[in-house]
Amino acid sequence: MKFLEYTPFDSINLFLEQLNLGDCTIRGNLEAFSCKHTGTDRRLSISLEHEILDYLGKSSDSDPSSPVEHLSSRSSRKTLIYLVLTLGHMYPDYDFSAVQAHLFFREEEWESFKLMIDTYLSDASRQWATTNDGTSLLDSMTKAIDEVIKIRECDIYSYNPDSDGDPVLEKGAIKLSGDDFLIGAPSDGEEEDALIDMDI
């Protein structure tokens, strides 16, 4: 994966870099990556694919807790691998190669996710509005992201790690989109919950 510089992110990232809200401080940023594998990504991707296939070979289809039916789908495996690679690029000092699939959750529709973000960033939004002619922080973020990918055409995943696998000890969301960035949504409903209750 290759980091892509997009100037529409600059003003938002500058605002979120170290935002002191009194009782808490927000540190965040928007980043875009191409999903064309680098040499390291390619090696890790192949390694993860082999681990998953090895796991599938040792799992029993009759085991009700087995993720075989989900991970046996190539698109589900690709999604999991891209999520792991994305985490690795976001937090390069951490090794996510052994992350468990059940720690990723596909969020609901964009509108409900948007409402959740708006709630979490309500104090930040008020501060943004005072320094940006009353404009909405969420609308500004959405517009900037839409210049890179079409956010309404994306699947959004959250990573809810255990304490051992959390580089920042808080919940974070990862976007997946089609075309040149990340992979798109499944073509039908059969893989809708593809990353729930899966281990590798």
Could you tell me the residue range of the domain that residue 163 belongs to? 2-58+69-176
Strands 155-159 and 172-176: antiparallel
> What is the rounded average pLDDT for all residues in the chain?
75
- Is residue 187 domain-resident? no
- Is residue 126 domain-resident? yes
- Is residue 81 domain-resident? yes
Check residue 136 and give its pLDDT: 92
- Is residue 33 domain-resident? yes
CA distance 15 to 21: 12
- Is residue 197 domain-resident? no
Angle between helices 110-120 and 137-146 in degrees, nearest 10 = 130
What digits encode the pLDDT tens for the residues 94-112?
Answer: 888 777 777 888 887 888 8
- Is residue 192 domain-resident? no
What digits encode the pLDDT tens for the residues 11-54?
Answer: 999 998 888 888 888 888 888 888 777 777 888 888 888 887 88
Q: How many domains does the chain have?
A: 1
Type of residue numbered 70: H
- Is residue 15 domain-resident? yes
For residues 118 and 131, is the Cβ–Cβ distance under 8 A? Answer: no
Helices (DSSP H) in 5-71: which residue ranges?
A: 10-16, 39-58, 68-71
- Is residue 64 domain-resident? no
Write the CATH number for 158.
Answer: 3.40.1000.50
What digits encode the pLDDT tens for the residues 135-146?
Answer: 999 999 999 999
Find the range with the poorest average confidence among 52-61, 63-72, 116-125, 163-172. Answer: 63-72
